[in-house]
Amino acid sequence: MQDIKIKSAGFGDPAVQSLVAENLRDLSERYGGSGDDTPITAADFTPPNGDFLVAVEDDRLIASAGWRRHGDDAELKRMFTTGAARGRGLARRMLAAVEASATAAGCKRMILETGDRQPEAIALYESAGYVRIPDFGHYAGHPGVLSYAKPL
């Protein structure tokens, strides 16, 4: 894990978009459809109103996590670890890094939407101190949606 570097990256970068496409395929397998229809643009992840982080190992992107400003909150988006990189604690490192980025930008709380077909994500968020909040955002009111928050 020491050879894995976490850094900011442009959301529009082709390598980042390839990783995002892998994330959406994973979500599509779980939920059907496109995986996630939440409107997102590269501008959402432009400092100081957002950031997009990737983990790099041997010049390959193996994980991502971004945040975008949602009032005083930071909304977590595109948290993902490739199948080959799972089980090594990388998701926890990515979550800590994205929280630190949002904190540095002055956000007071991290919020997120996930779904009931992602038990590994739910376990991570709850073990990291996230608690359920009323649903918000693109999927508010949809069956299976779970929204969480954590003070930063």
Could you give the CA distance from residue 4 to residue 150 in angstroms, rounded to a whole number? 26
Instruction: Assess contact for 116 and 96: CB atoms under 8 A.
Output: no
SS3 assignment, position 37: coil
Pick the closest to residue 102 from 94, 113, 92 (CA basis).
94
To which H or E segment does residue 146 belong? strand 145-151
pLDDT digits (tens, 9 = 90+) for 96-123: 999 999 999 999 999 999 989 899 999 9
Residue-by-residue DSSP string for 123-142: HHHHHTT-EEE---STTTT-
pLDDT in tens, 16-69: 999 999 988 887 788 877 667 788 999 999 999 999 999 999 999 999 999 999
